[in-house]
Structure 1
Amino acid sequence: MVILGSGQFRYRVETQWAQLPEGWTLGDVPGVGVDSRDRVYVFSRGPNPVAVFDRDGAFHGSWGGDVFTHPHGVHITPDDLLYLTDDGDHTVRRCTADGRVLLQIGDAGNPAPFMSGRPFRRCTHTALAPDGDIWVSDGYQNARVHRYSPDGELRWSFGDCGAGPGEFNLPHALHCDADGMVYVADRENHRVQIFDDAGMFVTEWRNLHRPSSIVPLPGEPKAWLIGEIGPVMRFNRGAHNLGPRLSIVDEHGRLITRLCISPSAGLEPGQFLSPHGIAVDSHGDIYVAQVGATAWPQLFPGQDAPAHFPSLQKLVRID
C-alpha cells in the first residue's frame, strides 16, 4: 500500500480504480471532473472522449466522439453541467451530463491570431463565477483570461504576455471561489495569480513548479490542491524537488504537504508523469488525470515508452 502526504492530508493510492470496458485504454487524460453525485467524468484524447464512472470506478457510459478534437480542461458546475475546453479546435462547450451540447463559445477550427489577446487561441480551462459568468484561460498561444456572460457573450478580457502582475506565460487552469476571486495557474511563470472579480491583481503564490491545475479541498481549514508538472529542460530534467507532484497549500499559499513518493517522474504508484488535471469528490478523494504519452518524450527523451501509461490515479483520503 502506498501512502502519500502527512498530517490530516494523507492518501492511499489506487492505480486500478477505473473499471474500463474490455478492449479500452484511455490514452492521455488531460482533464477530470466530479459532479454533485460523485460521478467522475474523464476527458481523454481517444475515441471516447468523455467516460463516466461512479466513485467506486464502475463504468457508466461515454460520449463525445463526434464532438471534440483535442480535449484539455473540465469544469463541472453545482447543477452538474460540464464545461469542456478543447484546445485543438479553440472552443468551450457547455454540455449536459449525457453529452447534449447547450452552448459553444469560440469558432471551432478558426483560432484568433497568435498572441493577439482575442479569443481563442488554444484555450485551456473554464470556471464558473458565483454570478454565473464564465471565465476562460487562453492559454497555449495566447496570454489572456476572458470573462463571458452566462449566454456566451464576451464581457471583457485581461492579461498580456509577460512575468509581471496580471501578465501570463501560459495561463493553464483557473478556479473561481465563492467570493468571486479568480485563481489562475500561470504555468510557465511558476506561480498562481489571484484576481478579484473585476480582474484586478491581488496577490500570487510562488512556492510552485509549473502549476497546471488547481482546485479547493473540501472542509476546514481552507486548503488548495495544485498539480505541478516536472522539468523538461536538459540541464534540470530529473532534478529533485521540482516535481511532477501534487502540492497542498493553505489559503495564503503556504505549503502544507506534498503528495509524491519520489522527487522525480516515474511510473510507480504515487509517482507522476504529468498531473495535468485534478478533481476532488465530496469525500475528499482526489482524481489525478495525466498526459503521460505527451510528457514521456519530454521527461525521458530517447527512452522507449511503456505500452500503457498510468493516465488516471485515485488517491483515497485516510481519515
Structure 2
Amino acid sequence: MTPTRNRARQHLCRAVAACFSAAMLIAAPAPSHAGDIPTFAVDASWPKPLPNNWILGQVGGITVDAQGHIWVIHRPRSLTDDEKGAALNPPRSKCCVSAPPVLEFDADGNLLRSWGGPGEGYEWVGREHGIEVDEKGFVWVGGNADNDNAILKFTADGKFVMQIGQIAPSKGSGDTTQLGKPAETAVDKDANEIFVADGYGNRRVIVFDATSGAYKRHWGAYGKPPSDEKQPPYDPNGPAPQQFANPVHCVKLANDGLLYVCDRMNNRIQVFRKDGTFVKEWLYEKNTRGNGAVWDIAIWPDPKQTYLLSADGENNEIRVLKRDDGTVVGSFGRSGRNAGQFHWVHAMAVDAKGNVYTAEVDTGKRIQKFKLTSDALR
C-alpha cells in the first residue's frame, strides 16, 4: 500500500472511531445529578414472607420511624374466608391466619415486632386506620368504623399509654372532647402537639397536647369553622367547596411549620400554618370523582424538603410535586395487581434514603417498596 493510501485509510479509521464515540455518548443515559427529580423502581422481593402462616388484610396505614423502620397497621377483620382458611373451625385450607394489627419491619423487609387488638385499659378500634410513630417512639393509631371516634397511644412494644376520644357516637365537628373517625395524625415534636385529620366523620383538623391529650384548637377548610351540614356532591365545574369533604384523609407537617392536609374527595391539598391560618391550596385531577385524587402525602427527606409525594388511590398513581408551588414534576404507578402497580393505594411513607413504602386497601391488601433511582437527596 502506498504512503498516500495508508494515510487516507488512517484518516478514515479515525473519522469512523470519532463518529462511533459520538454516537455512544448520545445513546448513553445521562448521569444523575444532585437535585434530580425523584424516580423509583419497585423492589418486588419486599417485604419478606411473614412468619406463623400470617397474612395481611386491608392496610389502613404505613409510616417510617426515626430508625428507618416501617410500621404498618392492617385490618384483620377484612380477610375473607378463603384468605383466612386456616383460622376457621374446622380449617378449610392450609393458609392462612391473620397477622396482628400492628407490625414493624426493617428496611430489608424483616418483621421485627407485632402486636395490637383489644386489651386491658383501652378500647380498640373497629376498623384500623392510620399509624404514626413520633420522635419519642410512641405509636399512635386510629380507626374509621362507626363509633371509632378516638386515637390511641402505645409504646413501641404495644403497652397502652393514652386514649383521646372514645369508641362512642361522634358529637360533631365543633366538639373538643370527641373525634369523628380520624384518618391520620402528625406529631409536632417541638410544640409537643398532635395534629389529627378528623376525618371520615368530622370535617376538620384538630390539635391536642401529645402528652396530656388536652384540646388545643381546630379548624376546617380555609381555616374557617367546620360545618357538619350536608355538602353537595363534588362538581369539577362548580365553585371551590368551602368545607372539607369526608374524609379529611391526611395531615403532614414540614420542618418549616407548614401543614399539608388531604381533602381527598375534593381533589385538593390545602396548606396551613400550625395555628390554622390558611396559606394556599392546589387542585389535582379535578375531573376525578369516585373516591377522589388526594389520599396521602409524604414529605421528601432532603434538607430543604423540596418535594411532596402524593398518593392517588382512585387513579392509582403517586405524583411528585414541588413543595413550593405544588407543580407536578413526575409520577409513577398505574392501576393493576402486578409489582409496582396499585389497587387503591391508600397510604405511603418515605425513609431518609428516599425509599417509598405504600399500603393498599380494598382487594389490594399489600405493602410495597420502591427504591430511589435518582440523585434527589442533596
TM-score of the aligned structures, taking structure 2 as reference length: 0.70
Tell me which of 176, 182, 204 is aligned to 2:259. Answer: 182
Q: Which deviations, in whole Å up to 9, do the C-alpha atoms of 1:191-223 show, x marking residues without a partner?
A: 000111221211001124521111101115610
What is the alpha-carbon distance in structure 1 between the residues aligned to residue 172 and residue 204 of structure 2? Answer: 12
Residue 116 of structure 1, CA deviation: 5.8
1:1-319 → structure 2 map (5 Å cutoff) = 8-19=37-48, 20-46=50-76, 47=98, 48-66=100-118, 67-88=124-145, 89-107=148-166, 109-113=167-171, 119-129=178-188, 130-150=190-210, 151-159=212-220, 160-161=226-227, 164=240, 167-169=243-245, 170-208=247-285, 210-219=293-302, 220=304, 222-230=306-314, 243-251=315-323, 252-260=325-333, 262=334, 265-293=335-363, 309=364, 311-319=366-374
| Sequence identity percentage | 29
Residue 267 of structure 1, CA deviation: 0.5
What is the alpha-carbon distance in structure 2 between the residues aligned to residue 271 and residue 166 of structure 1? Answer: 34
Residue 277 of structure 1, CA deviation: 1.0
Contact 1:111 1:122 in 2 (8 A): no
User: CA RMSD for the aligned pairs?
Assistant: 2.0
Letter in 1 for 2:350: V
Residue 268 of structure 1, CA deviation: 1.6
Any unmatched runs of 5+ in structure 1?
1-6, 231-242, 294-308
Residue 164 of structure 1, CA deviation: 4.9
Which has the larger helix fraction?
2
Residues 165, 155 of structure 1: alpha-carbon distance in 2 compared, 3 angstrom cutoff: farther
Q: Does 58-67 or 185-194 show the bigger shift?
A: 58-67
TM-score of the aligned structures, taking structure 1 as reference length: 0.82
Matched pairs, number? 282
Any unmatched runs of 5+ in structure 2?
1-35, 77-97, 119-123, 221-225, 232-238, 286-291
Which has the larger strand fraction?
1
Give the ranges of 4+ consecutive aligned residues of structure 1 lying more than 6 Å apart after TM superposition. none
Letter in 2 for 1:168: F
Task: Specify the SS of the correspondent of 2:347.
Answer: strand
What is the alpha-carbon distance in structure 2 between the residues aligned to residue 140 and residue 52 of structure 1? Answer: 26
Task: Specify the SS of the correspondent of 1:188.
Answer: helix
Residue 273 of structure 1, CA deviation: 0.8
Letter in 2 for 1:121: G
What is the alpha-carbon distance in structure 1 between the residues aligned to residue 174 and residue 156 of structure 2? Answer: 34
